[in-house]
Amino acid sequence: MQVADLYVRVSTDEQTKGYSPRSQEAVLRQYCQLRNITVRHVFVEDYTAKHFNRPEWRKIMVILRKQRNKTDLLLFTKWDRFSRNTSDAYQMIDVLKKLGVEPQAVEQPLDLTIPENKMMLAIYLTAPEIENDRRGLNTKAGIRQAKKEGRYMGKAPRGYINKAYEDGRRYITFKEPEASIMRWVFNEVAEGLYSSESIMKQANERGLNIDKNTFYLSLRNPVYCGKIRVAATNDELAHLVQGLHEPLISEALFYKVQDIMDGRSKILKGLAIATPKDLPLRNFIKCNRCPRMLTGSASKGRNTYRVYYHCRSSCGIRYKAKDVNNAFMDELTTLLPRAGYPELFVASIAEAYTNQHRAIKEESDELIRQIGEANRKIDNARELLLLHELEANEYRKIKEENGSTIARLEMRLNEVNVQKSTHVNIKKLAQMAINALCEVDKLYDIASTEAKRYLVGILFPEKMTYAEGVCRTGKLNRAAELIYLENKELRAKKMGQKSRLKTLPHKGWNMGLEPTTS
């Protein structure tokens, strides 16, 4: 009497709760009963047949190898229950034959010892594979069209959650507190002061719970600025479309982050956010004996801990943290505006702000020129394509590169246009700023460790040195030079000469020492 194992398969877990598994098993048991075949095991699978890397199928192969020649048949209802991949199916049939097992579909029986039946087997195996491929193409086409219409497909990114309307249409919306944390992440990366890894760690402490790879992929995801990425095909270039969901951040902020990550935007040195309160200058001070930066740590004495700045190498550089911190405070006091400078500062800022509109107009004209130049490159490439002097793939590459450039320039142009229409009481803001800067040493003294490091990073993009009890700072940030009146133009103006300084950088206000303005 022959012995058989029964294999029942459906594609999804939901189908296991329906009638199909029981129906298949009933057909197989009836087949065995009519032919006096003994049923040994029944395996029920809820997995795809595109490959044989299936949980239950792996169990079958383990049992068949351990109990070789104890099973004569492996029965299933149809060949598409066995496999929907022709090449894999032929290989698995050979493996089963070597184990002394004959696979057979009871509703599509074939005697594989007859050569002509192999043609029928090919039809039985190929038809489901073709059906799978066609269904896959239709699904991809539907997903692509949905993306073109602005719908986000797939699992929602961090900060969003998948939901559905009453009619079944799905959409994504904000999920708090993840949305607020991701908004904070983009703003911090765009600020350029802290390293991305430090920002990620801080975000995880706030409850984001994200790994490094997902974090960097999220920063590249245009979904956060309300765009949906449509992948390239043979007939169409990759492009972005306006999504139906609400954006978490502005397009300007998203592209600013992309520029920073791509190295197109010069940013401040990436710093660690978290640092001990007694070591606010850690990684800001250069070692005097090697190219490394000084780190910091505490060593335990008899009764208390002693904190030091020291080098990571074996060069032996080591300073008491208290001495270095006090020396930096002394250096910071030398930057305070001298008597008479606050009034000059306010007057100079007011004059620069008045002239700034001309600089903004010049920048606007330059952006328009660059956009026009990029459009001309695309037009020229199109003409060369029509004249068969340029390959289609080369044209697509030129169009994609210049299209990305145009998008960035248009975003910047929108920012400039907003600045054109923005008017503030500049004298009042400048007076508030200079009042704060006149007491920057006191502000630094009472600030939190994070705020201290932010201020140091803003003021001194170049690292400092410490020797013989004196902390020497490098070149000041350009905006800081202007604010502290260190440059020649403002010194000349104090002496009664005409200032050659027409405009001040309009982004020089993000110092954190005065109220945020639009």
Catalytic residue numbers, as ranges: 11
User: Cβ distance 504 to 482 under 8 Å?
Assistant: yes
User: Beta-carbon neighbour count of residue 274 at 10 Å?
Assistant: 12
Please tell me what DSSP assigns to residue 76: E
What lies within 8 Å, CB to CB, of 152 at 6+ separation is: 160, 171, 172, 223, 228, 243, 244, 245
DSSP SS3 for 500: coil
Signed CA dihedral, 418, 422, 427, 431: sign only: negative
User: Cβ distance 42 to 112 under 8 Å?
Assistant: no
User: Cα separations (Å) of 120 from 7, 15, 50, 412, 497?
Assistant: 21, 28, 20, 64, 98
Which tokens in the block code for residue 445?
Answer: 């003294």
User: Cα separations (Å) of 478 from 427, 462, 486, 495, 504?
Assistant: 21, 11, 10, 22, 10
In sequence order, what E strands does 17-120 have?
A: 38-46, 73-76, 102-105
Beta strands 3-10 and 465-467, pairing class = unpaired
User: Cβ distance 110 to 121 under 8 Å?
Assistant: yes
Cα dihedral 55/58/59/62 (nearest 10): -160
User: Beta-carbon neighbour count of residue 61 at 10 Å?
Assistant: 14
Please tell me what DSSP assigns to residue 271: B
What lies within 8 Å, CB to CB, of 269 at 6+ separation is: 457, 461
